[in-house]
Amino acid sequence: MFKGFYVLFLVLVLISVSDASAIEAGMTEYPLTIMDNMNNTITIESKPEKILSTMPSNTEILFAIGAGDNVVGGTIHDKYPPEVANIPKVGGYTNLEFESIVSLEPDVIFASAANGEDAINMLKDLGLTVIVIEPKTIDDIMNNIELIGEVTGNKETALSITDDMRTQMDAITSKTEDIPTEDSPRVLYLIWHDPMYSAGLNSYPDDLITMAGGNNIQKAEGWPVINLEDVIASNPQIIICSGMGGGSYTILDAIKNNDALAQTDAIKNNKVYPIDQPSIIEIPGPRIVEGLNELYGYIEPEIKVGEEQTEDEAPVNSTPGFSVMVASCMLVAGYLRAKRS
């Protein structure tokens, strides 16, 4: 009897250890209650089998964390990864087709504030579970990847992705975090040219500029218009042109042909760069680290830490006791010379 009890005890211990390992490995336990980016509290009763995304960034995250097979619908704007071409489309992110959405019977919808408040309320009124994802900073993007991973039962993969992202980011920020502001190149990040819409404070391009060692000249928040006079006064050393659908090169041409901007250092020194794939910067997902690497490539050569010393300006050796050592050597040399005499 004691032997049977001992075996049962061992089995229970093994089950407990197995459960603990599963939790540590990042498995999601349902029902799960979370808070989305709009501070809505949502309870997910069980692992979602049918997932719908109303924003390209959410779709990209879902596929990256391994939930792609569960995505039953997306928008016409979804372009990455290539597999998204095969999922049913429910309109554009600003003009959702509610009938199509209902027909797909999603367990959960990952939406965005860009869908519009009315659209989000309509989805909720239809009895659908809606989680709003609306990142403003790099930290928000990382947190959202982990949140989507937790909701969909792919927490372990999501954590692996964000760990890798942090490693890549740290490799750059370890070189740039201590650079004084006065030594950081002044950067203007444009997403359009007429008017000049730019990335401001509390936006992920602003975070990337800072991480890459630059100093964003746009000090207003969000994505505001910057007027020509302010650009000239701030005198950017680097101008980044980033527009979807080939817009980067349209912005580039407009900026280079703007006579008023010809006096800025960026134009004078030919430091105006088009982003060939704006999605790696402007779609808040795992590929944002590729955007950081590209920006760092443009910014790093312009970082000037201190001034280079000329030969005449070379400092005197200030090692403690150095002058005493020199004086001692001179005395010894004098003594030897006198002795020979």
Question: Tens digits of per-residue pLDDT, 179-219?
Answer: 999 999 999 999 999 999 999 998 989 999 999 999 999 99
Taking phi over 0 as left and psi of -120 to 50 as alpha, with beta for the rest, 142 belongs to alpha
Q: What is the DSSP letter of 250?
A: H
Q: What is the structure's pLDDT at 244?
A: 84
pLDDT at 282 over 50: yes
Among residues 205, 63, 198, 34, which one has the least CA distance to residue 136? 205
Q: What is the DSSP letter of 198?
A: B
Locate tokens 């030594």: which residue? 183
149 with 231, same domain: the answer is no
Among residues 120, 129, 78, which one has the least CA distance to residue 98? 120
255 with 211, same domain: the answer is yes
Evaluated on CA atoms 23, 29, 35, 36, the torsion sign reads positive
Cα–Cα distance, 113 to 55 (Å, whole number): 10
Cα–Cα distance, 249 to 232 (Å, whole number): 21
Among residues 62, 57, 52, which one has the least CA distance to residue 109? 52
Mean pLDDT of the chain: 87
194 with 126, same domain: the answer is no
Q: pLDDT higher for 244 or 256?
A: 256
140 with 205, same domain: the answer is no
CB neighbour class for 24 (10 Å; exposed up to 12, middle 13-18, buried from 19)? exposed
Q: 135 falls in which pLDDT band (50, 70, 90)? A: very high
> 30-59: per-residue pLDDT in tens?
999 999 999 999 999 999 999 999 999 999
The CA-atom distances, in angstroms, between 180 and each of 29, 183, 188, 213 are 46, 5, 18, 9
Q: What is the structure's pLDDT at 26?
A: 60
The percentage of the chain sitting over the pLDDT mark of 70, rounded to a whole number, equals 82
**Cis peptide bond N-terminal to 274, omega within 30:** no
pLDDT at 321 over 60: no
Cα–Cα distance, 143 to 321 (Å, whole number): 55
Alpha helices, DSSP H, located in 177-287: 204-211, 228-234, 247-256, 265-268, 279-282
Q: pLDDT higher for 317 or 142?
A: 142
267 domain-assigned: yes
Q: What is the CATH number of the domain that holds 228?
A: 3.40.50.1980
Among residues 109, 149, 172, 175, which one has the least CA distance to residue 286? 149
Find the farthest-apart pair of alpha carbons in the chain and give their distance in angstroms, rounded.
111
50 domain-assigned: yes
> 229-246: per-residue pLDDT in tens?
999 999 999 999 999 888
32 with 140, same domain: the answer is yes
Q: What is the DSSP letter of 74?
A: B
Cross-strand partners of 95:
92
Q: What is the structure's pLDDT at 245?
A: 80
Cα of 77 vs its chain's centroid, Å: 20
Q: pLDDT higher for 340 or 37?
A: 37
225 domain-assigned: yes
Asked whether the beta carbons of 55 and 115 are under 8 A apart, the reply is: yes
> 59-113: per-residue pLDDT in tens?
999 999 999 999 999 999 999 999 999 999 999 999 999 999 999 999 999 999 9
pLDDT at 320 over 70: no
82 domain-assigned: yes
State if pTM tops 0.95: no
Cα of 316 vs its chain's centroid, Å: 45
Q: 304 falls in which pLDDT band (50, 70, 90)? A: confident
Cα–Cα distance, 324 to 331 (Å, whole number): 11
Q: pLDDT higher for 149 or 336?
A: 149
63 domain-assigned: yes
58 with 147, same domain: the answer is yes
Contacts (Cβ under 8 Å, ≥6 apart) of 183: 303, 304, 305, 306
Evaluated on CA atoms 118, 122, 124, 129, the torsion sign reads negative
275 with 192, same domain: the answer is yes
Q: 337 falls in which pLDDT band (50, 70, 90)? A: very low
pLDDT at 252 over 70: yes
3-state secondary structure of 73: strand
Question: How many domains in the chain?
Answer: 2
The CA-atom distances, in angstroms, between 301 and each of 179, 221, 262, 275, 337 are 13, 27, 21, 17, 55
Domain limits at 139?
25-160
29 with 155, same domain: the answer is yes
Average the pLDDT over each of 10-14, 216-220, 227-231, 293-297 and give the range with the smallest value: 10-14
104 with 222, same domain: the answer is no
Q: What is the structure's pLDDT at 95?
A: 97
Asked whether the beta carbons of 82 and 73 are under 8 A apart, the reply is: no
Q: What is the structure's pLDDT at 287?
A: 97
Average the pLDDT over each of 135-139, 276-280, 336-340 and give the range with the smallest value: 336-340
Cα–Cα distance, 281 to 211 (Å, whole number): 13
307 domain-assigned: no
Q: What is the structure's pLDDT at 4?
A: 53
